[in-house]
Homo-oligomer: A and B are copies of this chain.
Amino acid sequence: MAGVGEFDIIRDYFAGAPTGESVLLGIGDDCALLQPPAGSVLATSVDTLVAGRHFPEGTDAAKVASRSLRVNLSDLAAMGAAPLWFTLALTLPSADRKWLRGFSHGLLETAREYGISLVGGDTTAGPLSITVQVTGHAAKPLRRDGASVGDAVYVSGPLGAAAAALPVVERKRKVDAELQQAAEAAFYWPEPQLQLAQSIAPLATAAIDISDGLLADLGHICRASGVSATVDLESLPVAALARELAGESARELAATGGDDYQLCFTVPAAQVPELEQLNSGAVRIGTLVDAAGEPQVLTRWRGQSWSPKESGYQHF
């Protein structure tokens, strides 16, 4: 990397990084050298987490590291891709050894869990932010624009936990130690749905990961595919933690809250029996219908049309 001295400083902290067979040359030269699996389609995604915006200032470094890699791995899952390698661009106020130890521990633990290799990076002095770029390979990529009228709409698992956890994570709400820990796990250790993605990819027509909120993210599939969706709120799988923390509001958080990193995907009606046989844990929540020129998500709750008070994360 240009500014080679930069990564040298912290290279030691990442020395234990796992390395897959696709990595010919990792950290330490101007570029990493990589040999993709023969004939593969690569999927790549980049995300930045900024202190004070995506996580509270002063958050434990291992938590920040875990979340920064997991949210990127979730993008690979959303494309039906398997992880290969990633890079890290780290901007931090000073080369704080304790912070770097915690960060590298959290990062490499997550990397080992999901079998992805750290191949390079850059470190600069400045306000704390973390940019991770992941690359994977997909046998059958799942795009947003492949869905059709009649497809069934699924989510991969319970929703609402991360959104319900947010006030606790931000220390705006006090709870007991056990709930505090559960809230932090939901927010900092979301589970990228990589295995489920591999199993449903042959059957699915479109997929997205739920980062901005189910209704907002399903809306992206609808617009890209030129269809509308009907969703029955009663069918949503609501996370137990969301019920515990948010009570009556849990169902709304499941519909509109972000940061759960479950998948939303679509399957043709004819493939629904095969999908159900996978016992993947995915739950059917709706159906795609004719958009009549205006793709949208039509939500019902107890037989009535329902609109969220707010839908999705506002980035600016």
Query: Which residues of A come within 8 Å of B, CB atoms?
Result: 1-6, 9, 24-25, 28-36, 38-39, 41-50, 52-54, 71-72, 74-76, 78-79, 81, 87-89, 91, 94-95, 119-127, 129, 131, 133, 136, 138, 141, 143-145, 207-209, 211-212, 216-217, 220, 224, 261, 312-316
CA of A216 to CA of B136, assembled, Å: 35
Copies in the complex: 2
Tell me how far the C-beta of A312 lies from the nearest C-beta in chain B, rounded to whole angstroms: 6
- Most chain B CB neighbours (cut-off 10 Å) among A29, A211, A312: A29
Residues of B within 8 A of A216 (CB): 5
Query: In the assembled complex, which residues on chain B have CB atoms less than 8 Å from the CB atom of A43?
Result: 31-34
Which one of B47, B79, B95 lies within 8 Å of A122 (CB-CB)? B47
Complex alpha-carbon distance, A312 and B9, angstroms: 14
A4 touches B44 (CB 8 A): no
- A81-B24 Cα distance, complex, nearest whole Å: 15
Q: Are B138 and A212 in contact (CB under 8 A)?
A: no
Closest to A34 in B: B42
Cβ B131 vs Cβ A31 within 8 A: no
Q: Please state if B34 and A1 are interface contacts (CB–CB under 8 Å).
A: no
B133 and A4 contacting across the interface, CB-CB below 8 Å: no
Q: How far is the CB of A107 from chain B (nearest CB, A)?
A: 15
Contact A125 B316 (CB under 8 A): yes
CB distance from A140 to the nearest CB of B (A): 11
Given contacts A1-B45, A3-B211, A4-B208, 16 further A-B contacts (CB under 8 A): A2-B45, A2-B74, A5-B312, A28-B144, A31-B44, A31-B141, A33-B43, A33-B143, A44-B119, A46-B120, A46-B131, A49-B124, A54-B124, A89-B131, A95-B316, A124-B315
The answer on a CB contact under 8 Å between A124 and B34 is no
Which residues of chain B are within 8 angstroms of A24 by Cβ–Cβ distance? Answer: 41, 141
CB pair A143 B4 closer than 8 Å: no
The answer to whether A126 touches B9, judged by C-beta atoms less than 8 angstroms apart, is no
Q: Would A75 and B31 count as touching, CB distance under 8 A?
A: yes
A215 smallest CB distance to B (angstroms):
13
Q: Which residues of B contact A120 (CB under 8 A)?
A: 44-46
Known A44-B34, A50-B91; judge A127-B124 contact (CB<8 A): no
Closest 8 pairs between A and B when the two form their complex, measured CB to CB: A30-B78, A50-B126, A31-B43, A2-B211, A6-B315, A34-B42, A31-B45, A127-B127
Q: Are B48 and A131 in contact (CB under 8 A)?
A: yes
Closest-by-CB residue of B relative to A39 is B38
**A44 x B30 contact (CB < 8 A):** no
Q: Is the CB of B127 within 8 A of A316?
A: no
Question: Do residues B2 and A316 form an inter-chain contact, with CB atoms below 8 A?
Answer: no
| Nearest-Cβ distance from residue A146 to partner chain B, whole angstroms | 10
Smallest Cβ-Cβ distance to A32: which chain B residue = B44
**How far, in angstroms, from A144 to B220 measured CA to CA in the complex?**
45
What residue in chain B is nearest A211 (Cβ atoms)?
B2
**Smallest CB separation, A73 vs chain B (Å):** 10
Minimum C-beta distance from A176 to chain B (A) = 31
